[in-house]
Structure 1
Amino acid sequence: MEINISNAALKWFQEEVELNKGDKVRFYTQIYGSSPIQENFSLAFTVDNDPIDMYINTELEGITFFIEETDLWFFNGHNLHVDYNQQKDEIEFSYTVSSD
């Protein structure tokens, strides 16, 4: 499994969420909404500088993006891709099948 953050998404996190080097962003599941890989569940994020059980992470410009082991089930063998949608002025998530 991988977490891929586009440069545009990284810039959005730095400007809109005001993240700085050393900050950590956790992607987690919500029990409402919808996603292409899990019906009735969606993905959200929070700034979480005290991870409990970081399963997978990626670091860009000193900012760590991660998923805890308790949320791994949501991805069901998929990689997470985070990009910025300029028209909607928000980040968006997409998923590809992991080769692991």
Structure 2
Amino acid sequence: MKIRVEQPAARWYKTEMGLSDGDSVRVYVRLGGCGSVHPGLSLGVIKDTPMRVGVSEVVEGVTFYMEEDNLWYLDGKSLRISFDERYEEIKMTVE
């Protein structure tokens, strides 16, 4: 189980969220949205300070992570975060 953030996605987050090198972005489970893994739940992101990191990856100077208590959402799989240039949007895929 791991988190994989592609460079174009990390650059997009840095621009859109005004992030700097050394900042951290938490990926968390939220109620609602269009999640493909668990009906009625989806993933959100927020600039935050890590507490109990379950998985993480540093890309473009930013740490992207999920806390231990949200790893159940991945169900033993990995999370890939990519940027779709055609639609100019982030895509999160559990694989």
TM-score (norm 2): 0.91
| RMSD (CA atoms) | 1.2
Please state how far the C-alpha of 1:57 moved relative to its aligned partner.
Answer: 0.6
How many pairs align? 95
Q: Percent identity?
A: 29
Q: Which runs of structure 2 are paired with 1:18-33 in the superposition (5 Å)?
A: 18-33=18-33
Indicate yes or no: 2:28 matched with 1:35: no
Give the 3-state SS of the residue equivalent to 1:78 in structure 2: coil
Q: Which runs of structure 2 are paired with 1:72-87 in the superposition (5 Å)?
A: 72-87=71-86
Structure 2 gap ranges (5+)? none
What is the one-letter code of the residue matched to 2:63?
Answer: T
Contact 2:7 2:59 in 1 (8 A): no
Structure 1 gap ranges (5+)? none
Give the 3-state SS of the residue equivalent to 1:66 in structure 2: strand
TM-score (norm 1): 0.87
